[in-house]
A and B are shown apart, each in its own frame.
Chain A
Amino acid sequence: MTLDPITLSVIQAGLLQVCDEMDLSFSRAAFSPVIAEANDRSDGIYSAEDGSLIAQGAGGLPVFVGTMQYSTRTLIERIAAGITAAPDPNDIYIVNDPYLGGTHLMDVRFARPFYRNGKLYCWLSNTGHWPDTGGAVPGGFSASATAVEQEGLRLPPVKLFKRGELDREIYQIICSNIRVADQRIGDVKAQAAALIVGEDRLNALMDRYGDETVTEAIAELRTRAAQQMRAFIAEIPEGRYESTAWVDSDGVVDEPLAIRLTVTRKNDALTFDFTGSSAPCLGPMNSVRATTLSSVYLAMRHIFPEVPISAGAFEPLHVTGIEDTFLDAQYPRPVSGCAAEVSQRIAEAVFAALVPALPDRITAAPAGTSGNFALGGHDPARNRGFVMYQLSGGGYGGNADHDGLSNGCSTIGISKAPPVEIMEQAFPVLYHHYRLHEGSGGAGQHRGGFGLDYMVELRRGQAQASFVMDHGRFGPQGALGGSDGAPNEVTVYQNGAPHVPPHLSKEQGIPLGPGDRVHVRTPGGGGYGDPFTRDPEAVRRDVALGYYTEAQAEAEFGVVLSGGKVDAKGTLGLRGTRR
């Protein structure tokens, strides 16, 4: 029998609902702000056979699109091979090994077997970003690690809960190897409880519609998702599309890393060939296979948000040529930059390759960096240590409909930035300004959005500043004739003397004393379309609002202003000459 499309739609909504409830439950009960506020987590349902993705919550962090199917598959393979103990009901496995289908070490996965009538039916799994998993640097973002051991504790899949009981011994080993361990129990319980919530809801769904119907629906939904993705792919004219995107450097060796991408649309499939990309690097800007695939998937989801996340949606997407490049790093290459930075550059390469083919759907390049700035030190007034994180947004790319958004979240994230007032309450710092990075939006018919410009001062004690950002050397790419956005700029003032990190936006352990300052200006988005076709009135308004100077209006947009008004003749002259 075949299922009617209506029952299918209803079960599809039901499966998504299970995942959404897991996401919500996890965030609300979690302790770490990175999960509770920044939603750096994801929950999903995975097949019992090969771990392929059945459904994933819409509110999960984008970079986790698809990654858990690889960790679940590895788990299934290891169980079959007898390396990992076979599951019992109410077990929960923990794993964070990047090379076993992961991202960076801080992303810790839980997996729980889901049984129906005593038989393993599928897996429920979630990922949460733990604030620390040990390693050289608090928080795990070491800019100059050269091996994964320097980045933190690496866990193969092991049972953290055995038949519903927390294994206190394993838990103690973990706690002895990570910072601020005393609060981790709250996150662990939240992460585990979310899977139990998912189990209840999935049981309810299957009770309601029957196991056979749900099983059939899952298979059919996979087919349909593939069909839907194929239909969208058919919108792309057949052919080859090429792009190159650059990572500034790996934090250790000061040389750019290239992502070279050729996308081929043939029939109703896309091949993403990364042949020719840079070799694995010494520093932490490596990506692992699961993250690389996931980055391609998340880019496609930004392009076709209508297609629900499922293994079927990924079927027509083929990724090749990553072997022996820094996009498929092997043990013990360091990987802390993979999820936060390299993934965004992979997405940029996808956008840049396909924007000529899908000019209405794709934007010029967004800022594409998480803006990770960590300040760790000792606060003498409170007589205790602290670790402060400032993640910041940047400009988005201009697009067919609009100018780019200013200060948007990273391509791979969905989190809010902490308010200045909260930062100043919690840490011995004072912000001197927190404003738009003026002039940073790439010029275009629709200009890029603006980055953020902040300056923060250490008020007392001693501290060390670390940066793992990117796009310091190259600004986010413009599209269809638009200019690149302004690059990231980091300057550290020690005793008033400016210091620019040799790797521009990456450095670790820069010592700061009272009165020393950090000045960061994040990238603006790329411009979209020829800037000389931008409505002169829009340029006039941009200048009136202080987004650009009059000189920029002339040089970048070919618009002459005089006395706050558009000089039509002068503008025509300028724009005419360049044609």
Chain B
Amino acid sequence: MWAGMKRADSGQVVGIDVGGTFTDLVQIDQATGAVRLAKVSSTTDNQALGVLNALAAADSDLAALDLIVHGTTTTTNAVLERKLSNTGLITTQGFRDVLELGRRTRPQAYGMKGDFRPIIPRDLRLEVPERMDAAGEVVVPLDENAVLTAGKALLEMGCESVVVHFLHAYANPAHELRCAEMLRSIWPNDYITMGHALLSESREFERGVTAAVNASVQPLLARYIRHLEAELKRGGYRSELLVMNGNGGMVSADRVAEEAAKTVMSGPASGVMAAAYAGRAAGVENLITYDMGGTSTDVALIRNAEPQVSNETEIEYAMPIHVPMVDVRTVGAGGGSIARVNAAGLLQVGPESAGSNPGPICYGRGGAEPTISDANLLLGRLDPGHINVEGGVSLQDVRSIFAAKLGDPLGLSPEDAAAAVIRVANARMAGAIRMVSVSLGADPRDFALFAFGGAGPLHASALAKELGIPRVMIPPRPGITNAIGCVVADLRHNYVRTIGTPLDNLDMEMLRSIFDAQTAEGRDMIDGESVSLRSIRSVHSVDMQFIGQTHLIRVPVADPGISRADLQAEFEKVYHDRFRVDLAEIRAAVVNVNTSVIGERPPVDLSTLIDPAGRAATMAEARITARPVQFDAGLHQTPIYRRELLPLGATLHGPAVVEQMDTTVLIEPGDVATCDAQGNLMVEVAR
């Protein structure tokens, strides 16, 4: 282990991200900067197979690797597809339906339909006599016989894991602790999740669902990781396997299943971590990340090089997972979003998507609805040479469908209809991105847009213009950003302590001691991991509100010893920036005290993601062809460049198209892009 630690500074580090469609790999030799990349199909039933395929595709010598960091969608898919392990619930008498009743909502504001399946079915939710009140005082003692009876009943019904979830356990966990202790005597494995253990906060539905998700995915994740470890070992791998958590930090494979719920959002989080890392290296610390894929688009906010973290993620309707995770919001359209003319005669893009199967027309899998990707193709933004000829689809087929379904009803040529699809899609995506940033208290104009995913770099410049964002950053390998996130991620532990105290009465020494205790706990956790680190640092914040409010606003705290007056001033500033409201009449309160403890790994040089030796000397050599491309401002004969050939420091004036293995970058007329020393394309957006 110690040898491994030492080698990790100079050795071979591999990041592998398993996504819905592709498994991506990046391997970096930290001594030489040599990079290997691989993109293989994901294997949904056994993700380990895809991981091994990727390693094989990259020709990686497992015995020579020093660290593998893995991002997985095992838990996310299990939850979304409800392919969960058989899980039982033992809860307070009278409250077994909490997980099914939810918070009295519906999926959409309009339309009284919808479907909801509770994460644990009713017959596996059993009650036992016990009751705490809100002060944590026992109202009804725990009926221990009933616990054993319930536990045995669940085992008989085939449960593999169990949740113990009692009312007000956050105030007094004694009954949960005792119940879990008794269950251990009869339960054949460790898969016992206590409600208060992951989230010690009130709100029984959210806490219960979080615990139920954890229990339901725990055996699956544990089995998967054990299997993967064994396979890697068989291939000769001798070092540590780390797994990405949804908070953007990584955790050793041995421990990851204990808090399996934290790995939900593992993939999207690592993409955001990669963006933060790349931004820091390039000196761009405020970013909106924009990850546009085939079916959806993920957006997140990075401030001062720190991704925003939320404790209140809801991964689908009525499925809250309240553990700290990178705040990634899914918005609007993906490349497969379908365009149609609605009954008002207006062009509408989405929300329906062709998905990846059949997908856009140009995939040649039988798709017959015009999509965003098809529009990009018709406009020459995507290389028409890449159209799927095996499926027997031609550019003319795409044109005909655009003519019949959009052009004729709108009175436009197929190309103009395609341009309209792009305009409408961009307007909607821009609106959605704006809502995300505004809801997080940020004005998009103060940020750069970090574009990745297969389709992100095609739309980024136009979106930035729409949003008033001055600059777009496109990393060297937009299509494998999540895997890069695995390579550069740090160790990261988040702590939240709820104090709910008026600022006037707050003992500032106590605040400081909470920050210090959170830092100490995080350092202990990090010291337990066998990974070499450059430094350990803490980032503090408090969640505040005016007394009487329910919503919170996050106030960064640079100095844990901050004075009361300074904290008041900081709060008022943040609040006014967000809401344009000053409220001298009402006092402020500090609700949550937050610390992220970050074990920073040694820096990884990303400038070799595109081999510097392979770059051309001049722009002329990087230019591979030219073709007519339709922009908002009209048709332009547009030079096409090869990304891998672009000289460092080169400047491109839009219109231009830059093609690379994993994506296509569109530079709008008037925009100016430079290729920086890290290999990023920095696009200055024309006003």
Contacts and interface: CB of A to CB of B under 8 A. Distances in A.
Answer yes or no: do A and B interact.
Answer: yes
Interface of A: 4-6, 8-10, 12-14, 16-17, 20-21, 24-25, 27-31, 33, 36-37, 58-59, 62, 183, 185-186, 189-190, 193, 196-197, 224-225, 227-228, 231-232, 301-302, 305-307, 363, 366, 391-393, 396-397, 399, 401-402, 405-409, 411, 414-417, 419-422, 424-425, 430-436, 452, 544-547
Contacts of A546: 122-123
Given A62-B109, A224-B345, 15 more contacts: A58-B109, A231-B344, A305-B108, A305-B110, A399-B112, A402-B113, A405-B113, A405-B114, A405-B116, A408-B112, A408-B114, A420-B204, A421-B167, A422-B203, A546-B123
Nearest to A27: B551
Nearest to A35: B550
B224 interface: no
Nearest to B93: A433
22 contacts: A6-B424, A9-B423, A10-B423, A14-B431, A16-B431, A24-B435, A29-B578, A183-B586, A227-B345, A301-B110, A306-B342, A392-B104, A402-B113, A406-B100, A407-B102, A420-B167, A421-B167, A421-B204, A433-B93, A434-B95, A434-B98, A546-B123
A405 B431 contact: no
A445 B577 CA distance: 54
B101 interface: yes
A302 B111 contact: yes
A407 B101 contact: yes
B433 to A, nearest CB: 11
Contacts of A407: 100-102, 104
Interface of B: 93-98, 100-106, 108-116, 121-123, 131, 133-134, 139, 167-168, 170, 202-206, 342-348, 410, 420, 423-424, 427-428, 431, 434-435, 438-439, 546, 548-551, 578-581, 583, 585-586
B134 A425 contact: yes
Contacts of A36: 549-551
Determine the main DSSP class of B at the interface with A: loop
Given A17-B434, A185-B586, A402-B114, A434 B123 contact: no
Given A420-B204, A421-B203, A5 B548 contact: no
A30 B586 CA distance: 13
B516 to A, nearest CB: 29
A402 B107 CA distance: 13
Given A25-B579, A197-B580, A452-B101, A5 B345 contact: yes
A225 B344 CA distance: 6
Given A228-B343, A430-B139, A436 B108 contact: no
B490 to A, nearest CB: 31
A22 B203 CA distance: 28
B345 A190 contact: no
A494 B588 CA distance: 41
A14 B427 contact: yes
B88 to A, nearest CB: 14
A391 B343 CA distance: 38
A424 B168 contact: yes
A363 B103 CA distance: 21
A430 B423 CA distance: 56
B342 A396 contact: no
B121 A545 contact: yes
Given A31-B548, A189-B583, A408-B105, A424 B342 contact: no
Contact of B346 (A9, A25, A414): A9
A544 B202 contact: no
A196 B580 contact: yes
B113 A9 contact: no
A180 to B, nearest CB: 9
A419 B208 CA distance: 12
B578 to A, nearest CB: 8
B360 to A, nearest CB: 20
Contact of B109 (A59, A185, A417): A59
Contacts of B203: 419, 421-422
Contact of A8 (B131, B346, B428, B586): B346
A435 B102 CA distance: 10
A27 B551 CA distance: 8
A227 to B, nearest CB: 5
A433 B551 contact: no
B344 A29 contact: no
Contacts of A9: 346-348, 420, 423-424, 427
Nearest to A399: B113
A411 B112 contact: yes
A25 B435 CA distance: 10
Contact of A405 (B96, B106, B109, B578): B106
**Which 6 A-B residue pairings sit nearest by Cβ, starting from the closest?**
A433-B94, A228-B344, A393-B104, A231-B343, A417-B104, A305-B110
A5 B347 contact: yes
Contacts of B586: 183, 185-186
B105 A31 contact: no
Given A5-B347, A417-B103, A545-B122, A31 B109 contact: no
B112 A302 contact: yes
B103 A419 contact: yes
A421 B103 contact: no
Given A9-B427, A224-B344, A419-B204, A24 B439 contact: yes
A21 B438 contact: yes
Q: Which among B97, B102, B115, B168 has the greatest number of chain A C-beta atoms within 10 A?
A: B97
A37 B96 CA distance: 25
Q: Which among A10, A59, A224 has the greatest number of chain B C-beta atoms within 10 A?
A: A10
Contact of B134 (A20, A301, A424): A424
Contacts of A417: 103-104
Contacts of B116: 405-406
Given A419-B202, A430-B133, A10 B115 contact: no
Given A13-B431, A436-B97, A414 B109 contact: yes
A28 B551 contact: yes
B134 A363 contact: no
